[in-house]
Structure 1
Amino acid sequence: MIDGADKARLIAYSLEQGFDEARVSSADFGKKPGEYLDAFLQAGYHGDMDWLVAKQKWRRHPQSLWPEAKSALVLGLNYAPASDPRALADHPDRGIISVYAQGKDYHDLIKKRLKRIARWIVQEFGADVKVFVDTAPVMEKPLAASAGLGWQGKHTNLLSRNFGSWLFLGCILTTLEIAPDDPTTGDCGSCTACLDVCPTQAFVGPYKLDASKCISYLTIETRAHIPRDIRSAMGNRIYGCDDCLSVCPWNKFAKRSREMAFMPRAELTAPRLSDLAGLDDTAFREIFSGSPVKRLGRNRFIRNVLIALGNQKDRSQVTHVTPLLEDPSPIIRVAAVWALHQLGSVSDFNKLYDACMIRESDPDVIEEWQIAKKERLDEQTG
């Protein structure tokens, strides 16, 4: 085990690399996180994120992934915004992109810094190391809580006394034995603001999230069609959702991120939905170059934009929806049919129904047309 002076050097070096928090946990964080993961998956709350099931054994515990690991250096990087992201909900013609995706991709930034620290550990102490951002089967939030960066709030995200709900996490597992820091004593008390604000009521209860109903999952993770009973609740959120994070009272202690890479790009802070609907693949890649949004791909992104356009309830937007009724992607055509149903007049709808159904072959798109047609008839007959 390294002594206190060496641990202090490690923490100091980590902070010098640009992190806002650096603390240590034992690689053994106990059985509870793994038990929670098992229950989460058994309940089906993961939706179609099958990769969670595929790597469940590794994810349950850091030492299941790497038995030789003794300690975890857990790093936090503040990404707090300058203003409340929920304000854009009052501007339905604009798309809401999650705060974390309005600047450069945090994965690349954090991984580079983690690798620098990892190399330093190897050079200074000769220990083995592995670095992780949130793309690997390691549960960073329980490790961060064990290290004392904060605690998992009722919204299931890490909650910090210093940074509220706005911390990116990364960790370095190592064979080096380092005295662990004490966990933070903190809780959410009787507050349920994060649970109450969720547009899709994705929280089963405090500390329990049904991810399959979460807008972040629906707009980013799932490759399927967004369920009809959830579409209206999504509003104008087109990539992620910050509502449960931004409403947290602990954010009053957070200060705007000082990381220049996270400064929001103007074109991503409040883009017009009508402009986004017309993006082809080349334009999509150009606009979102360097952003996490690019990994989503054009088709799923336009799916999200069409749901938001439908929720705008502005008939003038039909002109932006109509061309997408014949897009090559079925996932776009389904969303376009739904948006048309929300926006178009009876005559607009019937004309396009007849023209598109003659050529349509995808069963999901046909079903969407048929459901919309039936609902139109039901509305007319009262």
Structure 2
Amino acid sequence: MVNAQATSDLTQRLERQARELGFAAFGIAPAAEDPVRAERLERWLGDGHHGSMEWMETRQHHRRSPQGLWPEARSVIALGMSYAPAHDPMALETARSHARISVYAQGKDYHDVVKKRLKALARWLVAEEPDAEVKVFVDTAPVMEKPLGEAAGIGWQGKHTNLVSPDHGSWLFLGAIYTTLALSEGGSQRDQCGTCRACLDACPTDAFPAPYQLDARRCISYLTIEHKGPVAEEFREALGNRIYGCDDCLAVCPWNKFADEAHAMREFLPRAELVAPRLAELLALDDAGFRSFFSGSPIKRIGRDRFVRNCLYAAGNSGDGALAKLCDRLTDDPDPVVADAARWAAARLKSAL
């Protein structure tokens, strides 16, 4: 593109195409390094708040900026796809014999759904501008999607550190397309959290040392998904019946009142069996059963052992004596972390009888 008007026209057509593909949020950010973003990342890693996610530190130089990963990049197309739920994510809080699964994991794997449409949008762009080069990313590369989304104007990083959209609340899957094209930038989104601290107060494990700071080592999403060993006993009771992720800080955000489940992609609608699964049924899953039950789900990636570990902590918190026998059977599980969780759960349930 050789002039500002032509660039603006292309950006507008690109946004229309993105909307047609199901993206609810669209914006353009510069690919150059932002010193403030880079410094925040460095401080977060320096404080050890990434826990055992060593890949965050290993590829820090790539995460600092899009051009750190791809020097030829000039613009970032930041995109969001809504998964706004029709039901209250907190509804199962007191249904302790049932498991709570994060809203984002109740439908199809977002990696597959979002990436497919990112690739379609990238193909459209290259067809329009054959000299353009593109790379697409969905949460599996050293890309800082949330800060880039803020820089592109599709939302701001709230006090819970997740992106908040004025139109879609906290319910957005994020993706990015890096391109060698210089596209028209729309400007960053200003922070609109104000004095609200609902997300901070809702956290069951006090994972926020301060507003806009997350210590992943205390976060239930990290503990149930990324953390591989036994969960520290100080956190086990706070897990409640959450077995995969946690929606609490997202669910209480007042900006969700503007989110409309009608904008959510059909692929993200919850599978009926994942809305309120019974712990007794999940504890009975062997490896083959786990893989079959969670085929096409992001939950499959943590494996049967970590999943059953989480279910055992939930069983121990349930107060449901009927689950004690199931926990007892798992005290001899070949996986020592599962066996440890089973002994803890069985002891809790027996003491409650």
TM-score range, shorter chain: over 0.9
Which amino acid counterpart does residue 293 of structure 2 have in structure 1? Answer: I
**Number of aligned pairs?**
347
Q: Give, in whole Å, the separation in 1 of the partners of 2:33 and 2:46.
A: 22
Give the structure 2 partner of residue 131 of structure 1. 136
Q: CA-to-partner distance for each residue in 1:232-291, whole Å, 9 max, x for gaps?
A: 111000000000000001101110143110110011010001111110011111111111
* Counterpart amino acid of residue 30 in structure 1: D
Q: Is residue 195–residue 244 contact of structure 1 (8 Å, CA) maintained in 2?
A: yes
Gaps of 5+ in 2: none
Task: Give the counterpart of 1:296 among 302, 319, 322.
Answer: 302
What is the Cα deviation at residue 184 of structure 1? Answer: 2.1
Tell me the equivalent position of 1:55.
59
- Superimposed CA distance per residue, residues 149-205 of structure 1 (whole angstroms, 9 cap, x where no aligned partner): 010000000001000000111010000011111222342111100000000110001
TM-score, normalised to structure 2, is: 0.96
Amino acid at match of 2:182: E
CA deviations over 1:212-238 (Å, ceiling 9, x no partner): 110000000111111111001110000
- 1:103 to 2:107 alignment: yes
2:173 is the counterpart of 1:154: no
- 2: CA distance between counterparts of 1:57 and 1:116? 29
Are positions 1:335 and 2:317 aligned together? no
Number of the residue aligned with 1:92: 96
When the two chains are superposed, the root-mean-square deviation of aligned CA atoms in Å is 1.3
Give the secondary structure class of the aligned counterpart of 1:184.
coil
Find the residue that maps to 2:132 and give its secondary structure.
coil
Q: Does the aligned pair in 1 maintain the 2:242–2:314 contact within 8 Å?
A: yes
Q: Any runs of at least 4 consecutive aligned residues in structure 1 with deviations exceeding 3 A, and if so which?
A: none
Counterpart for residue 265 of structure 2:
259
Structure 2: distance between partners of 1:191 and 1:199: 17
Partner of 1:217: 222
Q: In 2, distance between residues paired with 1:214 and 1:293?
A: 17
Residue number in structure 1 paired with 2:277: 271
**What do the CA deviations read for 1:28-60 (whole angstroms, capped 9, x no partner)?**
251111111111111111111111111111111
Alignment partner of 1:41 is 2:45: yes
Q: Which moved more, 1:143-152 or 1:118-127?
A: 118-127
Post-superposition CA distance 1:100-131 (Å, at most 9, x none): 00000010011111111111222211211110
| 8 Å Cα contact 2:157-2:191 kept in structure 1 | no
Q: How does 1:1-382 map to 2 (within 5 A)?
A: 1=1, 2-28=6-32, 30-125=34-129, 126-256=131-261, 257-345=263-351
Code of the residue aligned with 1:132 in structure 2: it is F
The whole-number CA distance in structure 1 between the counterparts of 2:16 and 2:102 is 31
Structure 1 gaps of 5+ residues are 349-382
Amino acid across the alignment from 2:120: R
Structure 2 counterpart SS, 1:206: coil
Residue number in structure 2 paired with 1:353: none
- Code of the residue aligned with 2:338 in structure 1: it is I
Amino acid at match of 1:182: G
Cα distance between partner residues in 2 of 1:317 and 1:14: 48
**Separation (CA, whole Å) in 2 of partners of 1:142 and 1:28:** 13
Tell me: CA distance 1:343–1:321, structure 2 relative to 1, closer, same or farther (3 Å): same
Query: 2:70 and 2:111 mapped to 1: Cα distance?
Result: 22
The structure with higher relative contact order (CA 8 Å, sep 6+) is 2
Q: Which structure has the larger Rg? A: 1
Q: Is contact 1:148–1:183 with CA below 8 Å preserved after alignment?
A: yes
Higher mean C-alpha displacement, 67-76 vs 114-123: 114-123
1:281 & 1:110 partners in 2: Cα distance? 28
SS of equivalent to 2:91:
helix
